[in-house]
Amino acid sequence: MQLSRRTMLAGAAALAGTTATATATAAPASASASASASGSPEGQRHSKDKAVVFRDVRPFGAAKATDLVAVDGRFVAGPAPRGARVVEGGGRIALPSLVDAHIHPDKTTWGGSWVSRRPASAIADYVEQDVELFRAQRRPVAERAYGLMAHAVARGTRAMRAHADVAPAYGLAGVAGLAEARRRLRHALDVQIVAFPQHGVVRTPGAAKLLEAAARSGDVDMIGGIDPIGFDHALDEQLDLVFGIADRHGVGLDIHLHDRGEQGVRTLRGIVERTRALSLAGKVTVSHVFCLPGLSDRDLGALAADLGDQDIALTTVAPSDSLVLPIARLREHGVRVGLGSDGVRDSWSPFGDADMLHRAHILGWVTDVRLDEELTDCYRVAAHGGADVMHLPHADLKPGSPADFVLVRGECLPQVVVDMPRRDLVVHGGVVVARDGVFLA
């Protein structure tokens, strides 16, 4: 079997099977959510100092509609202040905006011409095609990333952790491009940037110096690492390098770990040890972590306890039933777990859409859920799990929380997860930033 993106990331020659995802037809909206005659909310989108009433909405699909009031970008209790603008919700469901805890906008070809991909059988093959595609792009990273990130906003994303490849082939072009896209979207999207050494830290001369430069630049919030054993073949050397850089410059860490079995577990233990030794609790994330799903319940519990003790966060992109993280079990030990969309139409794969509601749907699909509470929990992971990973407050529609939410037509939250209706209105900090699936630049 030829390796796919999923099997490549799994670090195995092949997976036992593939998992399809179903896309249901969204329920049509008979009318757009619109502003009242008191004024168009689009005119406010660069200002968060005005009160707004979102009238006739159903929080979490409640049977009875109510009004949500936002002042200075946060929900407040009680009646709206005099002179508040009014946005009619038309009985739509109000849901918290979503958080993409793991995405690679620098690699994307979103909005450009179709790219035909060649076969690949190892990470090195994908990396080679990454470089070729980067050099072939006529649009700079900032433009491509902005297009994808704005699309994510229109689909209801309030925040994302964005990984930018750092390697001698690119220098810091990816970091600079994402920083520019973040600046342009600062009114609509909260972004953390990770300088990610896709080509390896030790095996690629110059990569460690670039990570150091990225950490000094002020443009990144975190630096990354990748499979210290399976790809870099230097467990201690890589971890010592990246943890040292993070400690010196006061940035966080987000390490990609695809290695399965004992290699992955050894790496995870090394990450726990260094997090403890350098007092970096709460500043370290490990992404993918394919070694965890295969552990016995006893071994999983012991490792999860260590992760919880050091407040090491994890992210999953729910690639398959055998590789998705055991989220509920990890939560028992206080481990923060977020959901992400990973690569989007890049050299690794033609798939991906940066739509976190779709990703919540995929999470439900690969974990074979069917109960309402299970479907609702998939949405919670997409909304609040990523917020926990990024140390953001929950956008839970309660007084004091960020006024970050979406309005959709539907019957109830579980049905929304299954049907994935259009996001009719997207609000960030009390300001309308997208309407009818279109980003308001």
Band the pLDDT of 317: cuts 50, 70, 90: very high
What pLDDT does residue 342 have? 97
For the stretch 212-270, pLDDT in tens is 999 999 999 999 999 999 999 999 999 999 999 999 999 999 999 999 999 999 999 99
Mark 265-279 as b/e (b = at least 16 C-beta within 10 Å). bebbebbbebbeeee
pLDDT of residue 25: 29
Q: What is the mean pLDDT of residues 150-163?
A: 98
Q: What is the pLDDT of residue 234?
A: 98
Under the banding of pLDDT at 50, 70 and 90, the label for residue 18 is very low
If you average pLDDT over every residue of the chain, what do you get? 90
Give the tens place of pLDDT for each residue, 83-134. Answer: 999 999 999 999 999 999 999 999 999 999 999 999 998 888 999 999 999 9
Nearest residue to 192 via CA among 219, 167, 157: 219
Give the C-alpha distances (Å, rounded to integers) separating 356 from 84, 114, 219, 317: 31, 23, 25, 10
Name the pLDDT band for 46 (thresholds 50, 70, 90): very low
Place of tokens 């994402």: 178
How far CA 176 is from CA of 79, 101, 137, 256, in Å, comes to 44, 20, 16, 21
| E strand intervals along 219-359 | 222-226, 252-257, 284-288, 313-316, 337-339
The pLDDT value given to residue 30? 31
Local structure of 225: helix, strand or coil? strand
Q: From start to end of 371-417, where are the E strands?
A: 405-408
Predicted structure pTM score: 0.89
Out of 41-45, 225-229, 270-274, 395-399, which region has the weakest mean confidence (pLDDT)?
Answer: 41-45
pLDDT of residue 123: 85
Q: pLDDT tens-digit profile of 94-108?
A: 999 999 999 999 999
Whether the Cβ atoms of residue 84 and residue 53 lie closer than 8 Å to each other: yes
